[in-house]
Each structure stands twice: as C-alpha cells, then as structure tokens.
Amino acid sequence: MADIKVSLHDAQMEIFKSPARFKVVAAGRRFGKSRLAAWVLLIKALQSKSKDVFYVGPTFQQSKDIMWGMLKELGQDVIKAAHENTAVLTLVNDRKIYLKGSDRPDTLRGVGLEYVVLDEYASMKPEVWEMILRPTLADVKGGAMFIGTPAGKNHFYKLYIEAQQDDDWEAFQFNSTDNPLLDPKEIAAAKSTMSTQAFRQEFEATFESFTGGIFKEEWIKYVDNEADFAEGTIGHYVVAVDPAGFEQSSKDRGLKSSKLDETAISVVKIVNDEWLVKDIYHGRWGIKETAFKILQAAIESQATTVGIEAGALKNAIMPYLEDEMRTHGRWVNITDVTHGGKRKIDRITWSLQGRLEHGKIKFRKASWNDHFISQMMDFPSPLSHDDLLDSLAYIDQVSVADYAGSIELEDWEPMDAIAGY
Ligand SMILES: Nc1ncnc2c1ncn2[C@@H]1O[C@H](COP(=O)(O)OP(=O)(O)OP(=O)(O)O)[C@@H](O)[C@H]1O
Ligand SMILES: [Mg+2]
C-alpha cells in the first residue's frame, strides 16, 4: 500500500479500528466526524481491490464544501488525479473517491461499491440508504459508516439503536469534547445561549425528543428597573410582527375572538446579547388599524427595524403601512422575516428556549404578561394559540446583537496576523 500515515485522535481511532462492517457514529458538533470520514475513505479506497468508494453528504454542494479540500490535503501523497467538476479523486491504485449528495439519488445508483460514508446522516432521507446505497455494497460485501450529530429521534436514532443489536454493526457515541483539539471556549459560548436539551443534542450527541414542557414558568424574568427601557440608555429597539387575518368589519369582532388567531407585535430592546421585551401588542384588527398599530409601535420605540412575516398578509398590509407612513411623515425600515421552511414549533423552540432558560430575555411587567405565559406553558399544544410567542421568536431575525460592550479586546487578533500575511 502507498505510504500514508493516518492521524486521528483517540476517539476517532477507536471508531476507525473497529472491525464492524457497518458503523453508526453519533458524535457532537466539531468532534471530527468529517475528518474521520476523510481518512476512512482514503484508506478504504487504497485497500480496495476493485471497487470504488462514495462520500455522501446531505447535498452535493455540501459534500464538496466539506470534503473536497480536506481529502486533497490529507491524501496529497496518494492522489493521482482530481476532477473538480465531478468531484472525483483517483488514487495511485486507480480506485476512486466520489463525492455525492443525498439530494440527487439518481447519481447514487447502479455501481458496485467497496465502502460508503454517509455524513450528517440525520439530515438525509433514510431511503437513500435503504433503497439505493445498500444494494450497491452487495457485490464485494462492502461496508458503510453513518456519521452525524443527532437531530431528534428520527431514522438516525433508529439505526443507532438497531446497530446495538446486530453482529455486523457497531454503534458509537461521543461528545464534542472528545476532540482534544477543540477550543473549550467554543463550547462554553454555545452552552450559554442554548437550552440544556439542545446543547446535549448538539455537543453530547444525545437523541432528544423535543416534545412537551418546552418552556418553564420560572424562566420568566422581569426587568427590575423600568428606566432600562428609556431613551439614551444603551441598546436599540426592534419590532417583529406575526400578522393574523384582518377583521372585515366591527361586527366580526363579536365572534368568539379567543378562538381566532391574533396579530402580535413584539417591541424589544436589544442590549448586548439580552432581549428586554417592552411590549407585545396583540389583537384582531382591521387592516388599516393593524398598519397604524405597527407604525405606532415602531415610532414610539424608535425601532431601527420592523420585521413582518413574509407572505400574503404582509403583502396585503404593506400598501396600508406605506399610506400610514406618508400620512404621518414617518418612515421606518420594514423587512421580511420568514419561517425559512422550518416547522413553527421548531422555530419558536430554537429561538426562545435557550434564551429564556439562560435568562437572556427579560419582560417589562405589563398586562399582556399573563397572556404570554399561558401561551408559553401550553406550547406546543395544537389546541392553543402561540401568536405572542411567534412574534417574539421573530425578533431573532431582526436583532443583530451588538456586543460592543462585551468584546474582550486582548483576545482579539487581526486575521492577517493569524494568516501570517
Ligand atoms: N485528528 C485530527 N487532527 C487534527 N485536527 C482535527 C482532527 N479531527 C478533527 N480536527 C479538526 O477539528 C475541527 C472539526 O473537525 P470536523 O470538521 O471533522 O468535525 P465535524 O464533527 O465534522 O464538525 P461539524 O459538526 O461542524 O460537521 C476541524 O478544524 C478539524 O480540522
Ligand atoms: Mg462535519
């Protein structure tokens, strides 16, 4: 075999040396999953008598971004040719390493393989393995490694459990901190902004089920001093709006309004990495009235940005909002906030859970507090509303934390010095 020296940390080495034909590896962020994958591919390809190996990432682009440079660097002494466009490496023994994306299943079919690595398996469709890749290993009894950070109790979890019961299979679980090269500061920073549950998943590779009891009442913290909201103190205001359907006429308002969605307008002061929630206006209003309330909230607080959930309701309200702005001679910066294809439950959980748990959100004592807390305690029940939570969660997208007060300057080095230019 060509001359190549594998360099792995202890935990990676334990996985590498296991003789199991199929390995399922749940490991925290930055553990060194991708780097282990790169070494496995190089060695499997160098040892292979006839067949090639695949690296499969969630998308082809991601595979290239993650793997191409790493493979070329680690394999520089054993690579004969590198074809950039197709992302194929030919090694000195004429075996090939193909980079692939699970988003293009048609490109995964048909060839016999020696080995396949599925990186970030939790975010792939399970059919990619079951229907397409598994059969390609049959010819030479090839092997596979599934590696990733867990994402709830999904197909990756199922495979991880099954792997513990089958002789050909082995399951591994490692923390991010098992990578001795990882800077502990990076972990500490993540820990301070994430919920305990999310942190465990991402850094300790546990399979969490994010259901029920997402928020705790004791996480509600109030701003002690109303003066913190005053003008001239540090921080800046932003506004986020989750619009609901508009009332046609005052007659509609007699309907059981508690059953209907409300528009919610969150007014939040961003101070360093904290959110001070000044108001959450909510109600069912006509379209013109809604526009007026949004503008009023923005003007009163001198908000730098107003984020409104993109979609038909925003489109409907924009002309009215522009009208109001013209009438009042006041212009505010309106921007889109979007659900980004995420489920609402996930979006609310991810932007609020960690911050609340760590006391990074504080509320002004006001009449809407009870309404907010009741939505928070019911969440994510399909039977109750979450408009107030939703609008507050959107603050995430309009706030740019200003850390000006908290940067430790002695830690800061110009990039040039690091790069050595
Ligand atoms: N054995 C090793 N020797 C030197 N550096 C390593 C080793 N393993 C990992 N690293 C470094 O640690 C960092 C994380 O590695 P890698 O990208 O492989 O981790 P990952 O678990 O795939 O991360 P992510 O969760 O971000 O996908 C990288 O900077 C990588 O170069
Ligand atoms: Mg990776």
pLDDT score, position 217: 84
For residues 358 and 389, membership in a common domain is answered with yes
Q: 352-411: per-residue pLDDT in tens? A: 999 999 999 999 999 999 889 888 988 887 777 899 999 999 999 998 654 443 334 344
Ligand approaching nearest to the C-alpha of 30:
1
The number of beta carbons lying within 10 Å of the beta carbon of residue 55 is 28
Ligand number nearest to the C-alpha of 119? 2
Q: Mark whether 106 and 191 lie in a shared domain.
A: yes
Dist. CA 176–CA 295, nearest whole Å? 46
For position 262, which CATH number holds?
A: 3.30.420.320
Cα angle, residue 191 at apex, residues 225 and 274 outer, rounded to 5°: 25
Residue 363 located in a structural domain: yes
196 and 302 inside one domain = no
Give 299-308 pLDDT, tens digit per residue: 999 998 999 9
> Minimal CA–CA distance to 115: which of 96, 131, 130, 128?
96
Structure tokens at 8: 């792995």
407, part of any domain: no
Q: Is residue 231 part of a domain?
A: yes
Higher pLDDT, 78 or 410: 78
Residue with CA nearest ligand 1 atom 6: 32
If asked whether residues 325 and 360 sit together in one domain, one would say: yes
The answer to whether position 1 is within a domain reads no
pLDDT of residue 405: 38
Average pLDDT of the residues in 298-326: 95
Classify residue 133: in a domain, yes or no.
yes
Does 8 contact ligand 1 (Cβ within 6 A)?
yes
Of 13, 30, 33, 66, the one to substitute when testing ligand 1's pocket (max ligand atoms within 8 A of C-beta) is 30
Tokens encoding 366: 């006001």
Same domain, yes or no: 149 and 267: no
pTM of the model: 0.62
Residues 139 and 288 grouped into a single domain: no
Contact assessment for residue 287 and residue 416, using Cβ atoms and an 8 Å cutoff: no
Which 3 state secondary structure label does DSSP give 266?
strand
Structural domain count of the chain: 2
Of 204, 236, 251, the residue that ends a domain is 204
- 248/190 same-domain check: no
Q: Answer yes or no: do 243 and 353 share one domain.
A: yes
Looking only at the bridges linking them, the beta strands covering 113-119 and 169-174 are unpaired
Q: What is the mean pLDDT of residues 124-134?
A: 93
Beta carbon of 176 within 6 Å of any ligand 1 atom: no
Measured from the CB, is residue 150 less than 6 Å from ligand 1?
Answer: no
Does the structure show a pLDDT above 90 at 412? Answer: no
Q: Which of 39, 172, 181 to mutate to test the pocket of ligand 1 (most atoms within 8 A of CB)?
A: 181
Tell which atom from ligand 1 comes closest to the C-alpha of 149.
Answer: 25
Distance, C-alpha 366 to centroid of its chain: 32
Verify that 269 and 144 share a domain, yes or no: no
pLDDT at position 188 over 70: yes
Containing structural domain, residue 155: 10-204
- pLDDT given at position 214: 87
Q: Is the CB of 33 under 6 A from ligand 1?
A: yes
Look at residue 129 and tell me if it is in a domain.
yes
- Same domain? For 44 and 152 the reply is yes
Residue nearest to atom 23 of ligand 1 (CA): 30
Tell me: pLDDT of 312 over 90: yes
Look up the CATH number of the domain holding residue 66: 3.40.50.300
Chain-wide mean pLDDT for the chain?
88
355 in contact with ligand 1, CB cutoff 6 A = no
pLDDT digits (tens, 9 = 90+) for 323-356: 999 998 999 999 999 988 788 888 999 899 999 9
List CB-based neighbours of ion ligand 2 within 5 Å.
33-34
d(CA 13, CA 29): 17
Interval 144-149 mean pLDDT: 98
In this structure, is residue 412 part of a structural domain? no
- Same domain, yes or no, for 278 and 186? no
Q: What is the pLDDT of residues 273-297, one digit of tens each?
A: 899 999 999 999 999 999 999 999 9
Residue 4 lies in a domain: no
Give residue 407's pLDDT. Answer: 38
The arithmetic mean of pLDDT across residues 63-86, rounded, is: 96
pLDDT digits (tens, 9 = 90+) for 245-270: 887 754 444 444 445 789 999 999 99
The candidate with the shortest Cα–Cα distance to 126, out of 159, 95, 98, 96, is: 159
Please check whether residues 41 and 163 belong to one and the same domain: yes
The CA distance from 113 to 140, in Å, is 7
pLDDT tens track for 49-64:
999 999 999 999 999 9
| Residue 353 CB coordination number (10 Å) | 22
Q: How many helices (H) and strands (E) does the chain have?
A: 16, 15
The answer, yes or no, to whether any atom of ligand 1 lies below 6 A from the CB of 385, is no
Contact 303, 336 (CB under 8 A): no
Atom number in ligand 1 closest to CA 182: 12
